[in-house]
Amino acid sequence: MFPRHLVLATLAASAFLIGAVHAADYPSRPVQYIVPFGAGGAAELASRVVTEGFTEALGQPFVVENRPGANGIIGTVQGAKAAPDGYTLLQANGATFSVNPLLYKAATYDPAKDFTPIGLVARQPYVIAVSAGLPVHTLDELIALAKEKGGRLTYATGSTSHQLAGELFQKEAGIKLTHVPYNATNLALPDVISGRVDLIVTAAYTAVPHLGKIRPIAATSAERAKLLPDVPTFKELGYPNFVVEGWFGVSAPAGLPPEVVKTLNTALNKHLAQAKVREAFDNAGFEVTPSTPEEFGSFIKQELETGRNVVQAAGIEPR
């Protein structure tokens, strides 16, 4: 009979070798790519570009699975609970990773611990835009009107990352607005266009088709939005601490083998370096931002801390 310690050592070595073989063969079957929102909008564009790149580079279908619900929480929780074998990936974004865990008790995941970061994909500028009928054309005029109305001006959001920008706006400008949340931006826009809601926080990409019906006042991004180059940033207008951007990245359940992480990150960054891919993102107003897994992990922690500071300053309690 073999000594117990030799048996255990042999089993451990066998498990390591099996894992190494599986990682070397990865992927050997289709991969599920969970998007925690419904089809349409910026999330769909980002997921389509990413999965096409993985499929092309790795020779297996990477299939988008839309899992909407609860502001992205349902799909994100499913992604966290999946097996860490590389056959379930998750689209990470600012709303689900930077804000939801701070606002909703149902978001029972820790973005910094329950996921393996693969890589950042792109960042997206937001703008604050007013209904065309609102008599303001500059940020100063909007702030003055908000102070005059004493909290009666309303602002719409279609995601929690938009809400974060709205809360930071109120904090930095010293004003009070009434928040009107919607489940999606496309549901909010008709009410802003009609004037039932006074202003909206939305992506520049989403605002452009409605110019003339809504009026962008300021961009919340670090740089001016490519699609709206005439709209100044909050930083330019005297608010250096006001930077909130949307972003998309690729993540997996915690515990993904390092070899699989490397395979995915390499394929992702090679795809993002292609001219046709950068052109597709540029046309939608995105800034392509490839990264290492370590850089993406640090970025997630930083974004979560920024969100925590804004939520605490606004006195928002999780619900």
174 burial type by CB count under 10 A (0-12 exposed, 13-18 middle, 19+ buried):
exposed
What is the DSSP code string of 38-86? -SSHHHHHHHHHHHHHHHHHHSS-EEEEE---GGGHHHHHHHHHS-SSS
- pLDDT score of 307: 86
Q: From the options 3.40.190.150, 3.30.70.20, 3.20.20.30, 3.40.50.410, give the CATH code of 29-123+245-314.
A: 3.40.190.150
Q: What is the mean pLDDT of residues 2-12?
A: 49
Q: How far is CA 30 from CA 92, 248, 262, 292, in A?
A: 20, 22, 18, 24
Helix, strand, coil shares of the chain, percent, nearest 5, are: 45, 20, 35
- pLDDT score of 73: 95
Of 21, 27, 25, 19, nearest in space to 264 by CA: 27
Q: Which tokens go with 59?
A: 């020779």
Q: In which residue ranges of the chain is CATH 3.40.190.10 found? A: 125-219
pLDDT tens figures, 281-302: 988 889 999 999 999 999 999 9
Average pLDDT of the chain is: 90
- pLDDT score of 261: 98
Helix (H, G, I), strand (E, B) or coil at 290: coil
- pLDDT score of 3: 53
Residues in CB range of 103: below 8 A, 6 or more apart: 160, 163, 311, 316, 318, 319
pTM as predicted: 0.83
Of 88-92, 166-170, 190-194, 210-214, which gets the smallest average pLDDT? 166-170
- Per-residue pLDDT at 9 exceeds 60: no
pLDDT-derived band of residue 13, with 50, 70 and 90 as boundaries? very low
CATH number assigned to the domain covering 125-219: 3.40.190.10
Q: In which residue ranges of the chain is CATH 3.40.190.150 found? A: 29-123+245-314
